[in-house]
Structure 1
């Protein structure tokens, strides 16, 4: 059985975090993602975000590429994304 703290990633590394939300939600979804990720990745710039609408325009995805320093950092980001009512899903 694998150790739950084990990861296949070698840190530090570039890591893409993707978050999905409703396109018709309140405000700018990319700003929501930025505000949730930035405290954990201080080097994150708005230029590091890529936004894409779904084919029918109902959903939007934002990919934030960060320099990941540890598994704990990634866990904290995903915890904050998961706690936000604006985020439908994150990968």
Structure 2
């Protein structure tokens, strides 16, 4: 199983297929094209993720122990207008 990656835009932690984008020599991973495009429009805003994505509510299959869902807990600031649930996966 792949180690989880963190989308810097919505804070989602996931292990499924993902989009990789390199900006100024650093790799970033995105859960959707929407988040990748949001990052491309203002990369400086997402380079220092801070508390975004620090907390994730994870759901596991009790029989297999496999992760079935990861839900980011995002702390928003006044300047943060992104809604993690407002984009398509």
The bucket for the TM-score relative to the shorter chain is 0.3 to 0.5
Q: What's the TM-score once normalised by structure 1's chain length? A: 0.35
Q: Greater helix share, 1 or 2?
A: 1
